[in-house]
A and B are shown apart, each in its own frame.
Chain A
Amino acid sequence: MRRQHAVDIFMWVLCGIALALVILPAVDIILDVLIHSAGSWSLGLLTTTTFGEGGGLLNAWTGTLVLMFLLFLLAAPIGVLGGIYLAEYSSLRGARILRFASEMLAGVPSIVVGYVIYLVFVIVFGWSFSVLAGVLALTIMVTPYIMKSTEAALNQVPSNLREGGSALGLSHSLTIRRILLPIALPGILNGLVVAEAIGMGETAPLIYTAGWSNSLPTLQLIHQPIGYLTYAVWTYINQPSAQAHQLAYSAAALLLIFLLLLIGLSRWVGTRASRYTSRFQV
């Protein structure tokens, strides 16, 4: 009895340490960013563009939003449809090829993805540094992730429900749309949020593809570079001046805020869309 108790306590301590190992660095990063950027908070930061080692971050945060929006438009449909295909049509030959390709891509380092896009689109196709090249690189990075999480979310739907649809004589596609997807939705949304967060946090593949710009994003998809927050963090943190450091920390703080907004948005969409699954239990 007492031995059992000791084992219990030991397990609790281990869990606590594991939890701390995850939470403490996150807290440390957030505090660090907030403390260092606190001094430079001003409206000007959001409303003026960057020049030299100073100015604001208007070009960067709007650029990040544009990149994230376009990434969503491109990666979400491909990833979610691919995930549905992997989960629901896995017996088909195409699914095996798709899975192989997706696993391959997921293992390629982001800098390599950026470099390949650079060679093919920026140089050979002559797009030069551009929004589209950047979005393509990010899409290649995150699509395998979206596919994987969509597939996992669908596979977690209890077979009981899937069979319920079949037993009623519903078609496979109707079963997917009306029975499986509503249940899988929270998992799929979560995957999309993480994918967007990964995309938002990337620097390496964008440097080669999107370049950097001190001016506001334009509607031009090619031949026009674009600014983004991670670039500001990455370059200005290495500059000696205090002003540059402030800019870097402010950009990092903005990234954190965007991340929170992203999570909030997905929660909101999730609760609105899961009207009929709110009390569903596996």
Chain B
Amino acid sequence: MQNDLTKNRSNGQQPAETFPTAVSPLQAETGPAKEIISRVRTTGLHVGFGPREIIHDISVEFPQNQVTALLGPTGSGKTTLLRTLNRLNEMSSGFWMSGRVDLDGRDIYQDFSDVREVRRAVGMLFQRPNPFPQSIEENVAIGLRAHHIVPAPQIHQEVERQLINVGLWDAVGDKLDESPFGLSGGQQQLLCLARTLAVRPEVILLDEPTSSLDPISTQRVEDLVTRLKEKVTIIMVTHNVQQAARISDYIVFLNEGSLVEANWSREMFINTQNHIVEDFLTGRMG
């Protein structure tokens, strides 16, 4: 995957781009500073619907193979920002934007000939599970076929592999031909995750993926997310500060459509200088 993208970049018109790396301030308690190697980056991003601007001039980097939590009060534009990263906002009426969104140095709005390729590379899990009205097997297979991920004879095996990967195989292995709507909400969400992972995304966007789930299912999704970051970059909107503390490596904090602070989680929790962030993290605002 990495090689593919590097190749694409050098084949493109523009010269390969190297990102400047932000270095966070060294703190004794937080260990050595980490450099950001970013996979996704926005530059001077403005987003709006009709006459209203929702996202104001956001330039931020999302570190590769890390879990980034998008935090902020309700209505601060987290979902809007997230949906700009896989061009899903294009489906909303009145959508407009300016600025850039890069995936590995390629502008996702300019440098991809097909929006479907952007969305394959940047997967998304929704707030409420949304399995397709097809069999459980077909839910995973449909993306495999549409993106020619594996040859047709191997699809069944690949579906099994993906269901094992998300820990759903034991529950659904003997009812692959049944409707997904008979599964529990947590199982449906894992199925959606399997279907997203099946098309080999480089980035996964999650919009409050556990807000409709029970604690045990939430735990499973969190464990998976933590494990998945070895392979993919994860950007997750959450309302739950504890969840952000548990699983995020990096935090991007928005308020009223503007970037307030972006930093490694531990540092932000320990010594944010911003009173809005501090109130939010300590539960005085939410």
Whether both chains belong to one complex is answered with yes
- In the complex, chain A residues whose CB is within 8 Å of the CB of B142: 168, 170, 174, 178
Binding site for A on B (CB under 8 A): 86, 88, 91, 115-120, 123-124, 126, 128, 130-135, 138, 142-143, 146-147, 178-182, 192, 195-196, 199
- In the complex, chain B residues whose CB is within 8 Å of the CB of A165: 132
Q: Is A281 an interface residue (CB 8 A)?
A: yes
Q: Is A272 an interface residue (CB 8 A)?
A: no
In the complex, the chain A residue whose C-beta lies closest to that of B145 is A174
- In the complex, chain A residues whose CB is within 8 Å of the CB of B116: 169-171
CB distance from A79 to the nearest CB of B (A): 22
| In the bound complex, CA of A183 to CA of B195 (Å) | 19
| In the bound complex, CA of A163 to CA of B79 (Å) | 14
The number of inter-chain residue pairs (CB within 8 angstroms) is 87
| In the bound complex, CA of A277 to CA of B88 (Å) | 25
Give the 9 A-B residue pairs with the shortest CB-CB distance, closest first: A169-B119, A169-B120, A279-B181, A169-B116, A182-B133, A167-B124, A164-B130, A277-B133, A276-B179
Docked-complex contact B130 and A160, CB < 8 angstroms: yes
Docked-complex contact A166 and B133, CB < 8 angstroms: no
Docked-complex contact B179 and A278, CB < 8 angstroms: yes
Docked-complex contact B199 and A277, CB < 8 angstroms: no
| In the bound complex, CA of A179 to CA of B178 (Å) | 16
| In the bound complex, CA of A169 to CA of B142 (Å) | 10
- In the complex, chain A residues whose CB is within 8 Å of the CB of B124: 167
- Listed residue (A158, A167, A174) with the most chain B CB atoms within 10 angstroms of its CB: A167
| In the bound complex, CA of A174 to CA of B126 (Å) | 20
| In the bound complex, CA of A6 to CA of B181 (Å) | 41
**A277 and B146 contact, Cβ closer than 8 Å, known pairs A160-B128, A161-B132, A169-B199:** no
- In the complex, chain B residues whose CB is within 8 Å of the CB of A268: none
- In the complex, chain A residues whose CB is within 8 Å of the CB of B138: 178, 276
Partner of B195, one of A158, A163, A168, A174: A168
**A183 and B133 contact, Cβ closer than 8 Å, known pairs A167-B88, A171-B116:** yes
- Listed residue (A161, A169, A179, A280) with the most chain B CB atoms within 10 angstroms of its CB: A169
- In the complex, chain B residues whose CB is within 8 Å of the CB of A5: none
Docked-complex contact B134 and A168, CB < 8 angstroms: no
| In the bound complex, CA of A276 to CA of B124 (Å) | 23
- In the complex, chain B residues whose CB is within 8 Å of the CB of A276: 133-135, 138, 178-181
* 14 A–B contacts from the bound complex (CB under 8 Å): A158-B130, A160-B130, A163-B126, A164-B126, A166-B88, A168-B142, A169-B119, A169-B199, A170-B142, A178-B132, A178-B134, A179-B132, A276-B135, A279-B179
